[in-house]
Structure formats: structure tokens, C-alpha cells
Structure 1
């Protein structure tokens, strides 16, 4: 009497016999349903080798020639993953290929089992065993190929970026360079408008491939050309977006759109944006603004996945205030009194008072901005003035600067309990 293992071995033999036909079918399906995979002949040949070698290994596993614990990605599959890493293809496309391949092979095999095994219970048991074994195979192999992808991507970026980093650092030091030679080294045109970015992840959350994909998505959202991407370390990268001869970009709209891009990336990448600037000097200026905005975000311990832009006047003010934190702390305490306390209630009052000041002391405009009733705004403003201990008009400039410092640099400038 037959059993599921014996029937599955028969399917494995059939899989080996129809290996070439099935491989061709998989490659066609990948091309039709995963447009992110490269279409040039060299990469398609590598994909063919990867798919074919995976089918051979799966057949060996189904025939019991090796235990599931010994499954490793075939060399051709690892090479294909490495080549995708060099091309910058998303690893999600690679994983989709494995999931799609498993789906198609399971569908083919289940049909063969139904045709070859007349006993419905035995056919079901054989199909279940096939599904379990195929999942074990794909799980093991996908771990290997994604590991190979990530290692190759980091190595490739490091090698490619070495010359770029030297050129970028020379430009940022304002050294005299041959512009044409610099553009050739960077693969990026300097004689246009630029938008500088600094991107970073949380400590220990190093994934430059994800960061680079975020840069590409940002470039698409703002309608920029191919960006210049320069990794700084395992958690930080610099980037420049080419925005043409006019430098026209709607930063408020772009910033709102970027929030969606960062959410799509899992909320792990933070972005600081400089102001658009032109030419070789602008390459430096927009980067310096992005660096200053990043410093504000990091001092303020803002949550990951946020966008901060130097084009915001309050960010520029906070960047200046961050250069002398001891003086800023004293100014905040003097200007705000008890309103500078590090409490949730004080934070709510500061937020409402800053909006009130920026809206030219209009209760109606402030209510619309902070989504509160006008009477609630008036109550909070009155309480904030009381906590401050002096009228709203006294030392008005210091008041506004102190509120800005608290908004962006809160952990560094607030008064904590006990001093």
C-alpha cells in the first residue's frame, strides 16, 4: 500500500523530468508579474539559472536525498540575489519571486497528485506533505538569498561610494575642483538646482538599502531626476536631488507626501531636508541646511520616521539656538517661567501659545490651526500667561524664541523636576 512519502517521491521524479519546461514557465511568470525584476538578457539568464537550480534542489528534498535542515540556497540563486543588489532592485521583488514560484509549483504538483493518486485521502495527505516541505524549502532558501543580497548591497555601496565620498567632501570643504571631473566622479550634474537630504535610522537599525529606496521614492514624489546617494556610516546617508535649472519644488506639499513615503518604509527612516539652492555653491548650502535640521531633530529626540525641513523658519531659529544650549536654557527659563516645566500640561499650553503668537493673537485662527474650540484656546492662553508670570507683550521676542526652542529642542531646554 502506498503512502504520502512514496507518492511525493513520484512527484519529485516528475519534477526532475519536466525541469526545463517548468523553469521556462516560472521565468515567464516572473517577467509578467514582477515588473521590478531586470529584463536585460544577462539578468534573465541568471534568473533562469536561479529558478532551475531551485527546482533541482527542491526535487532532491522531496525525494528524501537530504533533510530539510541541510537546505541551502543554490549557488546560482545566491549569484542572482547579489546581482540584484548591485542593480539596486528591491529585495521585496526577490521575495515575491520565491512566493510566486512556490505558488505555481504547488498548483502544478497538486494537479499531478490528483491525476496520479486515486485515493482522495492519500492525495490530500500527499498534498499537505508537499505544502509543508515546500514551505520549509522556501523559508530556508529565502533567508540565504536575502542575507546574500544585503551583504552584497552594503559592499557594493561601500566600493562605489569611496570615490563619491572623496569628491563630495572636497566640494563641501569648498576646495577648487574641476567641475566636469567632479560631475564625472559623482555621476551627478552640479550645474543645476539641488535639494539636500540627510537620512538616518535609529542606532542599531542599519539598513542602507532601505534608506536608498526611500531616497528614490522621495525623488519620484518631488519630480526630481536621479539622486546622488552617499552613505556616511551604517545608519546615516547624505543625498542630493537634482531639481533642474529653475529649482521649482513645492516643499510643503513635498513634505506632506514624504510622510507617506516614510510610512511605506516602515517608519524607520528619518529625513532632514535643506532649502533648494543652485550650482556648486548651492550643493554645499542645501546640504548644510539639511545637516542643521538633522541636528535639531536629534537634539529634540523626535520619533523615527519624521520629516524636518530647514525651509521652516522655526527650524532655522532652533538650529541657531542649538549652537549655545546653556544660553538657550537660561533664556527659556527667564522668558517662560513655570511654562518651561517638563510636563505634559505645560507642553500643551506652550503649543497653543506658540500657535497663538504665530497667528497674530487671533483666537479664531489659532482654534482652526490646533483643532480646538475658540473658548478652549482662550482658556489655555490665559493659563499659559499665568504660568509665565508676566504679560504676553513683555519680552515678546524672547517669548517667541523660547517657545520655538521648546518645540524643537524640548528635552535639552526644559526645566526638569529637582532642577
Structure 2
């Protein structure tokens, strides 16, 4: 045994002797420097047990009682990692605790070595040996606890997701359910206003993870609490944003978040509503808007059921054969899938929505009113019927073309 190893055993004995004091010191520092760690008493008790058992195991290693290749994470440390996984604490917080703990113990031990070892060269050798051994320890143990964390997180999420899916499906069926038990199963409060969403990836990798992160950012911007996220498949998720006591949602803010952080994720929004019925109704609206977007291959980042033309399109998709016949009969040559026909249809629908005002339509579309009149006249000519004839069918047909596109249009001839 070298002199440095002998000195290191003395430090190990000191760690064992002062374990309670050092444990308290570490736990206090973790609380100050790692805000992500839970602070409720039960988790703090587990953190104390984890820190204490890690110090005890490190002392055994420094004394040479156990070889490094046989070191395993203490049971208390593994249990703490599992509980963090259940709480959804970021794994980075757990790893940071180990790095910080190593840093603090090395600093304390270096001061003790400086006091105990008079020979500077021997003190340096002892410190270097301590540093190397502690890195080996943290490397081995952190791998164990991270494995336990990830395994528990996967199991916990799978079980929780299954319960959430079953509970959500029962709510959407309208089953009679105890509100308190339902809220506990969902981890979400029903007695408030909700905004239902459907999120899906537009060819992006890791779609569900991106969708969940986007939902969290939306909740920070327009929500009033923790959202509910329920995966449906690898690309699609249902979600609900709690919006508190009001049905008002800043759709401009939603659009801003999507424009800045969407990352290939598309969102269909329902109409805000309250309570259990509102939970169901807002989701059904979002799901209907999602159907419209999917069928029409809609490429914008957000589509909202609050838009009356989306609501109309959602009804039209239920019988696509009838919708196609209505579009062809009502629009004539205006139902051609071409850029020029699309411009005329867009202008004509805006013109009808603006009560046939050339000035209002020009302002909406940022066109000269003479351009609006020219397009409207051409659209009427292509249709082959005056505007007043089958007026309701005309508006519905134009709405179908706007949202469903090639699904209801006649291919352009070359």
C-alpha cells in the first residue's frame, strides 16, 4: 500500500465518521442549487437516504473494502431515482446532483488532506487519487441510477398513459363518472374552461416529443395550468389546455407560438368550453378541424373550429360524394384545380362574405377594387350562373374548395 493510499483511507474514515454532517450539508446545497428537485418532505427524506448511502459506499471504496468493478448504486439512491421519474423531474437534475455532490465532497476532502498531510507532494498524490477514484465511483453509480430512472419513467408513463386514455375515452363517450376520481386519474381539472387540440407532425422526426414540448409552450402563453397530453399514435396526440374561468383564448398568441416554435407540428383547435361537457365538445371540434386539415392536406400551422368555414367544411366531409357533386354542379368551370380558378374562388368567397362590397373585399385581400370586380366577373362567367342563383350552395361549394382542395376539384386539363 502506498502512502497516498494510506492517507486516502484516513479520509474515508473521516467521511464515515462525519456522514450525518456531510449528508445534511449536501442536501442543503442540492436544494439551493438544483431547483428542479422536489422539496416535499417525503422526497427530501429519500434524498437524505440517497446522499447518506452514497457517502457510505464511497467510504467503503476508498478504504479498499470493495473493488470499483463491483460498485453498484445503493438501494436508497435507486429508489430516489425511481421516485424522481414518477414525478417527472428532469433526469438532468439527477445527474447534476451527482456532479455537484462530487464537487462538494472533493472540495471538503481537499481541505482535510491539506490539514492532515504536511508533505505537499504526498498531499497532491492523495488528492489526485481521491479525484480519480471519485470519478470512477460517480461514473459507475450514475449509470445505475439513470438506468433505474429511465426504466421507471417508461413504465410509469406507459401505465399512466393507459389509464389516461381509458379515462379520456370514457369522458368522450359521455359515461357517468365521478368527477374527483376522474380528475385524479387524468392529473387534470375538469371544473374549468378547456381548449381542445389535436397535434400532429408534418413529416418531422420525434413528432410526439415535439408536440408535447409545443403544448407546454402554448400552456405557458395562453393557458392557466398544466395541460393534458394523450398520445394516439406515433404522430398524433389529443390535448387539452386549461384556460380557467374564461372562454377567451388569444388565437394570435397561439399563432405566434406556432410560428416561432412549431418545428413541423400542426395544430387543430376546438372552441373553448367549460366542464365535462366542454371537455368533450372542445375536443370534438378540434377533431373535426383535424379531419378537414387531413383530408384537404392543409399545410398551415393551425386550423381552428372557431372559423365558421371550417365548421361548414367539417359537415361537408361526412359525405364526400355528395360534396363533390354539389361543387361540380354549382361551380361549373370554376371547380377546376388551377391557380387562376383558385384566385377567382378566393376572391368570390371573400366578396360574398363581405356582403358583395368591392371596397371591403379589396381591403381584406389587399387588392385594388377594380381587380376584385374583374375577378368576380370572371368567376361568375366561369360558373355560368348569376350570383343570386343557388346562393347557399355557392357559398358551401366555395368553402369546400377552400378547405378540401383537390379532393373536390376537377383536374385541370393540360
Whether contact under 8 Å (1:354, 1:400) holds in the other structure is no
CA shift in 2, pair 1:159/1:336, >3 Å: closer
Counterparts in 2 of 1:399-418, with a 5 A limit?
401-406=400-405
Specify the SS of the correspondent of 1:196: strand
Alignment-derived partner of residue 150 in structure 1: 153
CA shift in 2, pair 1:267/1:390, >3 Å: same
Counterparts in 2 of 1:72-91, with a 5 A limit?
72-91=72-91
Structure 1, residues 155-214: CA drift from partner, whole Å, max 9, x if none? 55157537xx34x43442345x3x7x3454334665653322345678995978x97786
Cα distance in 2 for partners of 1:46, 1:138 equals: 17
Alignment-derived partner of residue 23 in structure 1: 23
CA shift in 2, pair 1:364/1:228, >3 Å: closer
Give, in angstroms, the shift of residue 281 of structure 1. Answer: 3.3
Counterparts in 2 of 1:9-408, with a 5 A limit?
12=12, 14-60=14-60, 65-67=66-68, 72-112=72-112, 116=117, 118-119=120-121, 122=125, 126=129, 129=132, 132-133=135-136, 136-137=139-140, 139-158=142-161, 160-161=163-164, 165-166=166-167, 168-175=168-175, 177=176, 181-187=178-184, 192-199=192-199, 205=206, 218-225=218-225, 237-245=237-245, 247-256=246-255, 258-259=257-258, 263=261, 271-296=267-292, 308-313=303-308, 315-316=310-311, 319-320=314-315, 322-323=317-318, 335=334, 337=336, 339=338, 397=395, 398=397, 401-406=400-405
Give, in angstroms, the shift of residue 150 of structure 1. Answer: 1.1
> Can you give the 5+ residue segments of structure 2 that lack an aligned partner in the other structure?
388-393
Cα distance in 2 for partners of 1:356, 1:134 equals: 73
Specify the SS of the correspondent of 2:38: coil
Cα distance in 1 for partners of 2:272, 2:249 equals: 10
Give, in angstroms, the shift of residue 27 of structure 1. Answer: 1.1
Equivalent pairs counted in the alignment come to: 388
TM value normalised by structure 2: 0.65
Whether contact under 8 Å (2:161, 2:230) holds in the other structure is no
Cα distance in 2 for partners of 1:3, 1:235 equals: 61
After superposition, the CA RMSD in angstroms is 5.6
Specify the SS of the correspondent of 2:338: helix
Cα distance in 2 for partners of 1:211, 1:298 equals: 17
Give, in angstroms, the shift of residue 154 of structure 1. Answer: 1.6
CA shift in 2, pair 1:16/1:174, >3 Å: same
Question: Whose Rg is larger?
Answer: 2
Q: Point out the more displaced range, 87-96 or 29-38.
A: 87-96
TM value normalised by structure 1: 0.65
Whether contact under 8 Å (2:81, 2:146) holds in the other structure is no
> Can you give the 5+ residue segments of structure 1 that lack an aligned partner in the other structure?
341-345, 368-373
CA shift in 2, pair 1:366/1:93, >3 Å: farther
Cα distance in 2 for partners of 1:108, 1:353 equals: 76
